[in-house]
Structure 1
Amino acid sequence: MRHLRVLCAVADTGSVRKAARLLGTSQPSVSTQLHRIERALGGRLFTRERTGSQLTPLGHTVLARARTIIADMAELVSAARQEADDAEQMTLRIGSVGSRAVASWLRRVHTRLPDTRTSIRIDISANALLHLVAAEQLDIALVHESEGFPLRLPADAEHRVLIAREPQFVALALSHPAAGSPVVRLEDLAADAWMVDPTADHEYAALRRVLSEAGLNPRVVQVRDNATAAELVASGEAVRPCQPTSRPGPGTVIRPVHGNPFSVRLLLVWRPRALSAPAFDGLYADLRAAYLDLAATNPSYLAWLLSNDSSLPRLLAH
């Protein structure tokens, strides 16, 4: 590589003297290396003229290959160094279902682990995230489990409950007759179409079960696009279960449902081989703090917590 760089330097500067200055070495050293290259290749690469060193036809051919080899070697060295740096730097691969608490959780993780590189994978499917944990493509994942539809956790994974029973609220149009009530009843929504995301694990089945137990058989529409779903709710075309920490969109309100018929369990699942117990405890504490801070900013959910959960209000007070 040193000889090839000498060749390029002479070609770029047009003289052995200038090439030596560019390379930070002596002129005799550059001349010696250039002669070695020419002897090895069996031909002259430059003609020495009064105006400087000019490439021969062989020199042009060799120079083109030399530049490619030097560029490839520089890329190889850079990639190797990056890989070595990555191997030395701790990495944390996080997965999560959609939650407004994720951004605050990540900020806390970055503060706690400033030298750890983190990545985040968001997926509406808890099962998809658990498959990634099982395949060792994620180290830790926040997932939700619809009531009555237990998740199948990876055999070598551990889990801890974040929220044992998170109620699901309902989003409805501001113009809906029940929108003025602080708490809505399922019978208030008997004439409405309900909307679910078909890619969310068990959401459709869990909704159907609750409505059937309430003696209701409404039309259920399946919409994947959140923007379209928000417009349909705002227009009064449908109502929709949602997380209690959700923000109402334009023209909509979010209300608790009497009796909390819809609920999910929030779990933090991790691989013990990837995370030590103290490391997991810190991540869990960061997520819980992020979630509780978010809950405290939502008046409807905060009111529900104060009325229905015996432990979370004490945590919120701290």
Structure 2
Amino acid sequence: MELEVRHLRALCAIADAGSLHKAARQLGMSQPSLTTQLRRIENALGGQLFSRERTGCRPTPLGRIVLSRARPLVTEMRALVAETKAAAAGRGEGPRLRIGSTASRAIPGWLRRLRVRLPGTEISLQMDVSANALLRLVAAAQLDVVFVHEVEGSPLRLPESLRRRVLLDREPQFVSLAADHPAAERPVVRLGDLADDRWMVDPTVDGEWDGLRRVLSAAGLNPPVLHGDYLTAASLVATGEVVTLCQPTSRGRADMAVRPLFGDPLGVRLLVAARTEDELNAVYGELEAAYWEAARQSAAYTEWLLRAGDPRGATGGPLVPATR
């Protein structure tokens, strides 16, 4: 069996959806057909690409390697098709901005500001759990700019050809736990308060599992750790099944609390990268404003910033008018 673009697209869909059922629906095919196709792909490559778990499908180590090569190819093919259709329709190619990002609550505000500042520009967004994969896409000119998170102790592999700017040198990582968890009554949670809890982490996020493992080990803890995506984790946190690390811009819910960890044992650095300084300048101000807008919307983060003596907890940081 020779792999085709449609096979790579199917693999990406399964990884993004987290389940065969959802991926099949997105691809417009039946689940049995997609299951059969995946089995043939795995046979052709000689190994299992996804582990079937109760919470869905997760890429295996081999699967992550294949996906890291498949995603750029699928992205490039989509761009080729779009550009070819535009040329065939006689439309000149207008300005475009291809953004990549790891998960962040700043993304909606960033896109909103960019669309106001850059009218007529076609803005696309590609999300990925792997910051390193996004950086490679910028270096290969398949994306223009990326916003990524670098977990403390796990440096990213930044291509030498890229320019970077640090949005925040150290963003503390908080913990999310069920609203009725005893530790949720405290404004700051100690790791020892969670000694009897199961944790959940997404091992496909660059550096995330290593960072959590270091923090737990330093605290003398060795709790059971489940692997899964953070959408699933949120559901399990709400029911008290697990606790998990989260970004400080995360907002609590009626069934889930977000709290800082005592001593801020784990942090991440927030980076923006592009091939030129001009590309960085074109997007950085809007991202900075969007980040602090998201920070203001998190009560736990706002309080943490004020306790740390950071005035951005009250002002939201430097705001850039969307009409600039």
TM-score by length of 2: 0.68
What displacement does 1:175 show? 1.8
- C-alpha distance in structure 2 between counterparts of 1:83 and 1:258, whole Å: 60
TM-superposition CA deviations, 1:108-165 (whole Å, max 9, x none):
0011110211110011111111121121101100000000111010111010000111
- Where in structure 2 are there 5+ consecutive unaligned residues? 1-83, 319-324
Q: Tell me: CA distance 1:141–1:309, structure 2 relative to 1, closer, same or farther (3 Å).
A: farther
What displacement does 1:310 show? 3.9
- C-alpha distance in structure 1 between counterparts of 2:168 and 2:188, whole Å: 21
1:47-86 pair list within 5 angstroms: 79-80=86-87, 82=89, 84-86=91-93
Which of the two has higher C-alpha Rg?
1
The answer to whether the 8 Å contact 1:163/1:267 transfers is yes
What displacement does 1:244 show? 0.7
Matched, 1:94 2:99: yes
Q: Tell me: CA distance 1:313–1:179, structure 2 relative to 1, closer, same or farther (3 Å).
A: closer
- C-alpha distance in structure 2 between counterparts of 1:94 and 1:130, whole Å: 11
- Where in structure 1 are there 5+ consecutive unaligned residues? 1-76
- C-alpha distance in structure 1 between counterparts of 2:168 and 2:312, whole Å: 9
Aligned to 1:182: 187
Matched, 1:280 2:280: yes
Aligned to 2:264: 260
The answer to whether the 8 Å contact 1:133/1:154 transfers is no
TM-superposition CA deviations, 1:42-64 (whole Å, max 9, x none):
xxxxxxxxxxxxxxxxxxxxxxx
Write the letter of the residue equivalent to 1:90: P
Write the letter of the residue equivalent to 2:295: A
Q: Tell me: CA distance 1:145–1:311, structure 2 relative to 1, closer, same or farther (3 Å).
A: farther
TM-score by length of 1: 0.70
Any idea what SS the aligned residue of 2:149 has? Answer: strand
Aligned to 2:218: 213
Aligned to 2:297: 297
The answer to whether the 8 Å contact 2:303/2:313 transfers is no
Tell me which stretches of 4 or more aligned residues in structure 1 moved more than 4 Å.
81-84
1:154-233 pair list within 5 angstroms: 154-224=159-229, 226=231, 228-233=232-237
- C-alpha distance in structure 2 between counterparts of 1:149 and 1:191, whole Å: 27
The answer to whether the 8 Å contact 2:301/2:313 transfers is no
Any idea what SS the aligned residue of 2:233 has? Answer: helix
User: Share of identical aligned residues, percent?
Assistant: 51
TM-superposition CA deviations, 1:192-241 (whole Å, max 9, x none):
11110121111111100011111111111101261x32221112111000
1:83-162 pair list within 5 angstroms: 84-86=91-93, 89-162=94-167
The alignment covers a number of residue pairs equal to 235
Any idea what SS the aligned residue of 1:149 has? Answer: coil
Equivalent residue in structure 2 for 1:244, among 232, 240, 248: 248
RMSD of aligned Cα (Å)? 2.0
